Amino acid sequence: MAKKTTKPGNENEKIKSLQQFTENGDGEFLTTNQGLRINDNQNSLKSGDRGSTLLEDFILREKITHFDHERIPERIVHARGSAAHGYFELYQNMSKYTKAGFLNDTKIKTPVFVRFSTVAGSRGSTDLARDARGFAVKFYTQQGNYDLVGNNIPVFFIQDAMKFPDLVHALKPEPDNEMPQAASAHDTFWDFISLMPESMHMIMWAMSDRAIPRSYRMMEGFGVHTFRFINEKGKSSFVKFHWKPLLGVHSVAWDEAQNISGKDPDFHRRDLWEAIESGNFPEYELGVQIVDEKDEFKFGFDLLDPTKLIPEELVPVTIMGKMTLNRNPDNFFAETEQVAFHPGHLVPGIDFSNDPLLQGRLFSYTDTQLSRLGSPNFHEIPINRPIVDIHNNQRDGHMRHTINKGKTSYDPNSIGGGCPFQAMMKNFGFTSFLERIDAKKIRNRSKSFIDHFSQATLFFNSQSDAEKNHLINALRFELGKVQSPEIRQRMVDLLTQVDKNLANRVAEALGLIAKTPVGNTNQSVPADDDPKDYQSKKIKPIIERSEALSMKNTNKDSIATRRVAILAADGVDEISLNAMKKALETKGAMVKIIAPKLGAIKLANGSAIKVDESFLQAASVLYDAVFIPGGKKSSDALKAEPDAIHFVNEAYKHCKAISANDEGIELLKASYVDINAKDNGIIVGKGNISQAFIKAIALHRFWDRETARKVPA
């Protein structure tokens, strides 16, 4: 579009006005650390608007370098982590798509090290913060280390790595008072988000129950970006990586998460550790969505846009193999803290796309490890060391472990016999995909990245009614913590672009009226184009709903590793207790006896059974279900114990399966539980009712109770 011309006099007046504006302290020009004014802080320099990011982008490198070195030695993001060793086994040979060795041979058992993490909080923060979760896997393959560094959410807040320092600065505790810790419910975060509508899809995920998982063992993982598979013939396919937990995908309630943070801030870390120690090894299947090169542009959105996903209804996930985590770290610092992941750690057969967020990460991760681990030799730390030999001409440096012999530290050489040699034989070493590049250098964003709302709408429409209510309440809570009325209004106005009912319900709780934004709602428009050309460019999605996006559809017919509390006191009926305990443990549940005090309780037949926790240590939020066995004396003691009644009430409030038989039913009658209501999560009766209870636990939660509002908030 033609640019408007300005007379020299008018231009001089404009410059003078801007200078006066700055001198008065009313405004400032954005500059580099060398004082160079920046005219585009939204986009990295690329070879064409869909091309790879250029190394010469000194503004991007300065910005990310400074960001990477802002904390010593804790990670700036993903500081709080938990990890485990394990292995990956391939189900089917994938050589049709990739020459990666560990994806070609079903007989290979590839060692892995996995680190799960929160993003926003410090090392000392709670596991149960509302946050995205890191899901990083290091494969120790026979071709070198391959790192799949992803999250439990398949999209991200931003489209270009240029904005990553801004995002994290906005999300982290506010710099004047260092509050709040591990929380996004504050002004700077929502100020940024309200001005970056490309974040709206991620916001739907971050405000959903996906952001408060029940366990690391019960959350999905995603590679986020679009990568490439390359086969032996050099043919490329685009791929999206998925980790799918065999236990299904489950969350906790927000009120429950806040309680867990007080009762056990190490809840996820402890859960992972104890599951592995007890032999209940976490398992995840690895799958890929595969898109042929010729289909790159058929979806109505850009595959290079990290704020977009491919609905599984359009491209099903092909399951390739299974990962099992079977060993806890021997030393937290040496392994979990010192492990260094990098999306640039590749093996032949896997390559990058030109996703501008991924391209920035390829620089940032090495720079981060240099700052955090203090040496270019971080690859020699045992947890980072590949299982194959390393041969190159690198020498020396801080904390060098390898003692290299001989004179040659250069290439080419004849003194050392020419060693080490380049792997020049066809398909022997790593070769980048031969992608044609013919473009102008440009600091811009492709027009194909401009739709910021359709997939946010798709995600919201795909949620169950309970999940929608939770998402709405999360937005009400978060925006209710925002002090600036202008920021709150901007956010509810943006929400109208996702779903008007969603926006109205959030606005009502904030005392606002949601209005459709006037003017451009897409901040990062190409520099030479008129923003009006991009107003309300919301593309209608190919599908209206995706079943794969709702956790409701991931339930498995299993109670393996679920924690079940049995509430009992002296005089409990041994037949009732033992029958249920045996039935639950046979199905893989982890059963604990909770009583008024530690030690042992006497059964009705005079024998004794060990107590695992007293009501002083235990809390319903740490368990998935509750059972109260028969025995009049036990029931009477529990009814007289306020903590026992609270335990039941809280479990009921958080929509968990609750069961009681014989005299144990009297405790439920003393609580808020309505045993006569049509609630499939309340199992009561005479005798053995274990099978019905097991079936209820497998359904995870009974969210309809929230609608009924039968318990205090």
Element (H, E) at 638: helix 632-639
What b/e sequence results for 15-47 when a residue is b if at least 16 CB atoms lie within 10 Å of its CB, and e otherwise?
eeeeeeeeeeeeeeeeeeeeeeeeebebbbbbb
CA 649 to chain centre: 31
State the Cα–Cα distance between residues 650 and 643, nearest whole angstrom: 10
Pair 473, 254: CB distance under 8 Å = yes
Q: Which of 43, 104, 145, 151 is flagged as catalytic?
A: 151
Peptide bond into 73 cis (omega under 30): yes
Pair 388, 143: CB distance under 8 Å = yes
**Residue 151, CA atoms < 13 Å, CB-side half-sphere:** 22
State the Cα–Cα distance between residues 275 and 444, nearest whole angstrom: 48
Pair 234, 434: CB distance under 8 Å = yes
State the Cα–Cα distance between residues 441 and 438, nearest whole angstrom: 10
Q: How many CB atoms lie within 10 A of CB 106?
A: 12
Name the residue with tokens 């999905």: 220
State the Cα–Cα distance between residues 690 and 583, nearest whole angstrom: 6
78 given a catalytic annotation: yes
State the Cα–Cα distance between residues 84 and 220, nearest whole angstrom: 16
The two three-digit tokens of residue 530, written as one number = 């008129």
DSSP 352-371: ----HHHHHHHHHHHHHHHH
Question: What distance, in Å, lies between the first and last C-alpha atoms of the chain?
Answer: 57
**Residue 657, CA atoms < 13 Å, CB-side half-sphere:** 25
Q: Between the CA of residue 669 and those of 532, 549, 664, 674, 710, what are the distances in Å? A: 63, 38, 9, 7, 14
Q: Which of 78, 85, 379, 452 is flagged as catalytic?
A: 78
Phi, psi torsion values for 707, nearest 5 degrees = -65, -35
Q: Which residues are catalytic?
A: 78, 151
